[in-house]
Amino acid sequence: MKKIAIVGFGVVGGGVAEILQRNAKIIEKNAGEAIELGYIVDLRDMPDSPFADKMVKDFAVVENDPTVSIVVEAIGGCGAALQFVRRALTAGKSVVTSNKQLVAEHGLELFRLAKEHGVNFLFEASVGGGIPVLNPMTRCLGANELYEVSGILNGTTNYILSQMLEKGESFDGALKNAQKLGYAEANPAADVEGTDAARKSCILAGLAFGGNVAPDDIHVEGITAVTSVDAAFAEAGGMKIKLLGRALVRDGKKYVFVSPHFMKQEQPLACVGDVFNAILVRGSDVGETMFYGPGAGRYPTASAVLGDVIDIVRNPGREQPTGWEAAEEKPASFDTFKARYYIRTREEKALVQQKLGQITWLPDQQGCSGGVTEPCTRAQLKAVGVALDACWPVFE
């Protein structure tokens, strides 16, 4: 029997407690032994919770109980969460978290702490919610040299873009729908401006290529500049618009960035609609593989957290090689990323073509011209002095 503690009894923490109880037999079978909920740490009083007898307010109770071997961090952010995770690891307890900000910003320190104390720090739920992706990528695909890990990493923005393209909604209308359905926060900045996808991209980059990438060091562009005109161009070209977080090696350089992308409808990622997430992994031998599912939500996230807990319980004394090292250099500038680009402009087509070279024009939409360039860099597009109202890579 292994005892765990849940720190933070909100949406995810509550989900973990509930599944642990409801699926106790399945979990015991898969973990090889029973997993008991020892404590729930939360500052709030919750006398009516079915878990009231487990609740404590002081993390020190968990820290000082040698029978607790795993701590599930479900507070979020980098305040108390960081403090408690440090203390748990230092006390020789493994930690499982879904906190992407914590992993993206403090991963290096926490991997080192875990290693020092011979315990694990696992975070499958931090990318792709319930989708198993970090584990399959680092273990099942462990014989591959990985070239690219790119995906639809934020469900809210995927929902908004899907509504814009498939239902003809405006950005504002789609955002309001997302808020009504509980997909978007009242303050949706972290989603629509790409911050959330950026953190996840840094985690994917770290695991795929082994070097730390700081969210502050990458190009992050959300979907606030995507308009109904762009949606109309995508439709006319048999394409979709997706916000992608990408980590890839191209021309010997490492790129990590978040940007809207155009892509042909035949791309596996193009089929990922609604609030779903998907991560595409390209490797030397597997070729292209994709992991699809719910990128957020109480139970999917808790499912991924418990997958990590089971992994730790099944492998006592084993240190998972999950993590990455400090990096010697920052990712290459997005401006040097060579790709076809979708462009939208109000300048004359002949002039644009004269300056940018061959463009595959799409039928005009709402008085604008739009098309796809031949492979070039954003720096090249900027340098020719044509006013572009939009300029995003085509994912191929």
DSSP string covering 222-255, please?
-STT--HHHHHHHHHTTEEEEEEEEEEEETTEEE
Strand duo 68-73 + 2-7: pairing: parallel
Q: Which of 107, 151, 215, 294 binds a copy of itself (CB under 8 A)?
A: 294
Shortest reach from residue 233's CB to a copy of itself, in Å: 22
Q: How far apart, in whole angstroms, are the C-alpha atoms of residue 389 and residue 396?
A: 22
Q: How far is the CB of 302 from a copy of itself (least distance, A)?
A: 6
User: Phi-psi category of 125—alpha, beta or left, where left has phi over 0 and alpha has psi -120 to 50?
Assistant: alpha
Residue 24 or 376: the one with the smaller Cβ distance to a copy of itself is 24
Task: Say which amino acid occupies 298.
Answer: R
The two three-digit tokens of residue 388, written as one number: 């572009």
Instruction: Work out how close the CB of 343 gets to a copy of itself at its nearest, in angstroms, rounded to a whole number.
Output: 27
Binder of a copy of itself out of 131, 226, 231, 312 (CB under 8 A): 131
314 binds a copy of itself, rule: CB under 8 A: yes
Say what the alpha-carbon torsion angle 268, 270, 271, 274 is, to the nearest 10 degrees.
Answer: 140
Which of 288, 325, 335, 396 is in the footprint of a copy of itself by CB under 8 A?
Answer: 288
325 binds a copy of itself (CB under 8 A): no
Please tell me whether residue 130 binds a copy of itself under the rule CB under 8 A: yes
Q: Which stretch binds a copy of itself (CB under 8 A): 177-185, 193-201, 283-291, 375-383?
A: 283-291
CA angle 85, 101, 120 (to 5 degrees): 40
Cα–Cα nearest to 55, from 111, 1, 13, 99: 13
Give the number of residues in contact with a copy of itself, rule: CB under 8 A. Answer: 60
* CB 133 to a copy of itself: min, Å: 8
Closer of 296 and 386 to a copy of itself (Cβ): 296
Contact mark string toward a copy of itself, 338..367, x via CB under 8 A: ------------------------------
For residues 29 and 382, which CB has a smaller minimum distance to a copy of itself in the complex? 29
23 binds a copy of itself (CB under 8 A): yes
8-state DSSP, 139: I
Residue 88 vs 304, nearer CB to a copy of itself:
304
Supply the minimum distance, in Å, between the C-beta of residue 210 and a copy of itself.
Answer: 8
Q: Should residue 141 be labelled a site residue for a copy of itself when binding is judged by CB under 8 A?
A: yes
- Across the chain, where does the E strand assignment appear? 2-7, 35-41, 55-56, 68-73, 94-97, 121-122, 146-152, 219-220, 239-250, 253-264, 276-283, 287-294, 341-345, 359-365, 368-373, 390-393
Are 378 and 356 in contact by the 8 Å Cβ rule? The answer is no
List the beta strands (DSSP E) in 138-275. 146-152, 219-220, 239-250, 253-264
Q: How many angstroms separate the CA atoms of 228 and 163, rounded?
A: 11
Please identify which residue in 306, 327, 359, 386 interacts with a copy of itself, judged by CB under 8 A: 306
Q: What is the nearest approach in angstroms of a copy of itself to the Cβ of residue 289?
A: 3
Instruction: Based on the residue annotation, tell me whether 338 is a catalytic residue of this protein.
Output: no
Catalytic position from the list 93, 200, 240, 242: 200
Among 58, 116, 145, 396, binds a copy of itself (CB under 8 A): 145
26 scored as a contact of a copy of itself (CB under 8 A): yes
Please report whether residue 284 would count as binding a copy of itself according to CB under 8 A.
Answer: yes
Query: Residue 320 or 373: which CB sits closer to a copy of itself?
Result: 320
b/e per residue 278-315 (b: at least 16 CB within 10 A): bbbbbbeeeeebbbbbbbbbbbbbbbbbbbbbbbbbee
Structural tokens at position 68: 């607790």
Query: Nearest distance from residue 223's CB to a copy of itself, in Å?
Result: 22
Binding site for a copy of itself (CB under 8 A): 15, 19-20, 22-23, 26-27, 29-32, 124, 130-132, 135-145, 266, 268, 270-273, 276, 283-294, 297, 299-300, 302-304, 306-307, 309-311, 314-315, 318, 321
